[in-house]
Amino acid sequence: MKLETERLILRPWEDRDRAALAEIQGDAHVRRFFPRVMTREEVEADIDAAREKARLNGFHFQAAELKETGALVGLVGLGVIPDATRAAIPSHPRVEIGWVIGKQYWGQGLAPEGARAWLDYAWAIGLPEVVAFTAHINLPSQRVMQKLGMIHDPSDSFEHPKVPDGHPLRPHVVYRKRNPGP
């Protein structure tokens, strides 16, 4: 699936993205709201898994490339929520939207720009709703959700099953947006 915005090309992963994504996901500041950074091997496995999930579901988190330079700025996309996480969220939503952008590109509205295109795609393929979730202390990501017109649903807050008990990143908030219809 290839989508285009004013400044971005949102496209399937290519082998040339492996090193660039490993640099972004290996950065402790970028990953400060995740339990830890990712190794090169984990990033490689993630890219392979993303390709497989895109094949199975028709979408997954994909590359976001800056049109002007061809550089990888990060990942944006839709994903079917993994079963263990889905079970932990009170409303058991099916599809999430998410983003990780390299820190040199922060503050330019690139995450919301890419995410808007992915939401349009979600509505075009008839998904009834898309949610976004993040650690309750990850305010930059929640700003992106707000910019997309997603609504915070406090009744859906949950403890992330992959984060240890008592860890400050365990409590998560959920934002949702419904398909605006034809």
Ligand X SMILES: CC(C)(COP(=O)(O)OP(=O)(O)OC[C@H]1O[C@@H](n2cnc3c(N)ncnc32)[C@H](O)[C@@H]1OP(=O)(O)O)[C@@H](O)C(=O)NCCC(=O)NCCS
Distance, in Å, from the CA atom of 50 to the CA atom of 64, rounded to the nearest integer, reads 14
Contact between 3 and ligand X by CB under 6 A: the answer reads: no
Nearer to ligand X (CB atom), residue 54 or residue 148: 148
Nearer to ligand X (CB atom), residue 55 or residue 162: 162
Contact between 141 and ligand X by CB under 6 A: the answer reads: yes
* Contact stretch for ligand X (CB under 6 A) within 2-10, 42-50, 54-62, 102-110: 102-110
Contact between 78 and ligand X by CB under 6 A: the answer reads: no
176 contacts: CB under 8 Å, gap ≥ 6: 93, 129, 130, 131, 132, 150, 151, 153, 156
H-helix or E-strand spanning residue 25: helix 17-25
- Output the six-digit token pair for 181: 């219809």
Distance, in Å, from the CA atom of 60 to the CA atom of 164, rounded to the nearest integer, reads 26
Contact between 82 and ligand X by CB under 6 A: the answer reads: no
* Contact stretch for ligand X (CB under 6 A) within 89-97, 98-106, 116-124, 153-161: 98-106
- The conformation of residue 161, written as its DSSP 8-state character, comes to T
* Contact stretch for ligand X (CB under 6 A) within 9-17, 36-44, 131-139, 153-161: 131-139
Of 59, 61, 99, 121, which one interacts with ligand X (CB under 6 A)? 99
